[in-house]
């Protein structure tokens, strides 16, 4: 099971989440209100992409086995990073 690393509140802006070390697992992001996954429900997505979720554009990159995720916000609902 995934462990919640951090919760980011609604209204947050300029969000940047980065893995500091190479890791076999990937960043997983879940909407705290609906319980639906925004990124990586199985924790295995190994390719970066730009996508729209929660009405925002997100940029997910994977470089040298390290994930990063960015959005300018503001978040309409709280998210959890797992």
Mean pLDDT over 52-71 rounds to 93
User: Distance (Å, rounded) from C-alpha 73 to C-alpha 56?
Assistant: 7
Q: What is the pLDDT of residue 45?
A: 67
Judge residue 68's burial from the number of C-beta atoms within 10 Å of its C-beta, 0-12 exposed, 13-18 middle, 19 or more buried: middle
How far from 76 is each of 7, 19, 43, CA to CA, in Å? 14, 24, 23
Do residues 38 and 54 make contact, with C-beta atoms less than 8 angstroms apart?
yes
Q: Which tens digits make up the pLDDT trace of 1-56? A: 677 889 999 999 999 999 888 877 788 999 999 999 999 887 666 678 999 999 99
pTM score: 0.85
């Amino acid at each position: 099971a995934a462990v919640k690393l951090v919760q980011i509140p609604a209204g947050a802006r300029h969000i940047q989440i980065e893995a500091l070390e190479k890791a076999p697992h990937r960043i997983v992001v879940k909407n705290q209100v609906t319980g639906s996954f925004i990124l990586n429900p199985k924790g295995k997505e190994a390719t970066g992409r730009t996508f729209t979720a929660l009405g925002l554009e997100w940029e997910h990159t994977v470089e040298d086995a390290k994930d990063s995720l960015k959005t300018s916000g503001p978040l309409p609902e709280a998210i959890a990073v797992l």
